[in-house]
């Protein structure tokens, strides 16, 4: 097992990278949507969080909640491949995952209303958290001093 897969990153660091309130992470975890984050998140847990947060931001929590539980096992298999697309079928209210454009094409060929989400940006932000460690460690590596914890968006 690689060091990166064993490494754990605090949910607060992942939240900062994705511009999500930490309380949202813990609420979603308490509802069984995500890992609890106690002791940090593994890379896979962080990637799941990136996908879930993106879907909630674009669709809303109520629309994502039920189909997310069905998507999660399939998504875990796809996340190892790197780039992932998630397809939301509006009529069926289901989520499915695809790795290639060809797979996306097959899943949307029925002609019904669908929304396709490329998750490359969110996934790359989480991978960066694992490759570079925490934001404070990154600052020290660049020679910066951290006087106080950084606040990305103090007004919400």
Tokens of 58: 């674009």
**Residue 137, domain member (yes or no):** yes
Residue 6 has a pLDDT of: 67
Instruction: Provide the pLDDT for residue 21.
Output: 97
Is the CB of residue 85 less than 8 Å from the CB of residue 107?
Answer: no
pTM attached to this predicted model: 0.79
Distances (CA, A) of 85 to 5, 95, 120, 147: 22, 10, 8, 39
Q: Is residue 98 part of a domain?
A: yes
95: left (phi over 0), alpha (psi -120 to 50) or beta: beta
Instruction: Examine residue 147 and state whether it is found in any structural domain, yes or no.
Output: no
Residue 106 class from Cβ within 10 Å (0-12 exposed, 13-18 middle, 19+ buried)?
exposed
Q: How far apart are alpha carbons 1 and 141 in whole angstroms?
A: 26
Q: Which residues of the chain carry a pLDDT beneath 70?
A: 1-6, 133-156
Range of the domain at 31: 3-141
For residue 146, is it within any domain?
Answer: no
Domain count, the chain: 1
Q: For the beta carbon of residue 101, count every other beta carbon within 10 angstroms.
A: 11
Q: Is residue 150 part of a domain?
A: no
């Amino acid at each position: 097992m690689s060091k990166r897969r064993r490494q754990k990153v605090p949910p607060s660091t992942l939240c900062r990278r994705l511009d999500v309130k930490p309380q949202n992470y813990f609420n979603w975890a308490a509802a069984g949507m995500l890992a609890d984050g106690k002791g940090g998140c593994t890379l896979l847990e962080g990637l799941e969080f990136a996908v879930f947060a993106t879907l909630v931001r674009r669709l809303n929590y109520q629309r994502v909640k039920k189909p997310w539980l069905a998507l999660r096992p399939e998504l875990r298999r796809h996340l190892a491949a790197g780039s992932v697309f998630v397809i939301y079928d509006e009529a069926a209210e289901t989520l499915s995952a695809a790795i290639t454009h060809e797979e996306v094409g097959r899943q949307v060929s029925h002609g019904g209303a669908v929304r396709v989400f490329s998750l490359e940006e969110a996934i790359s932000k989480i991978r960066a958290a694992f490759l570079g460690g925490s934001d404070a460690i990154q600052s020290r590596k660049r020679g910066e001093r951290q006087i106080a914890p950084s606040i990305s968006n103090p007004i919400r």
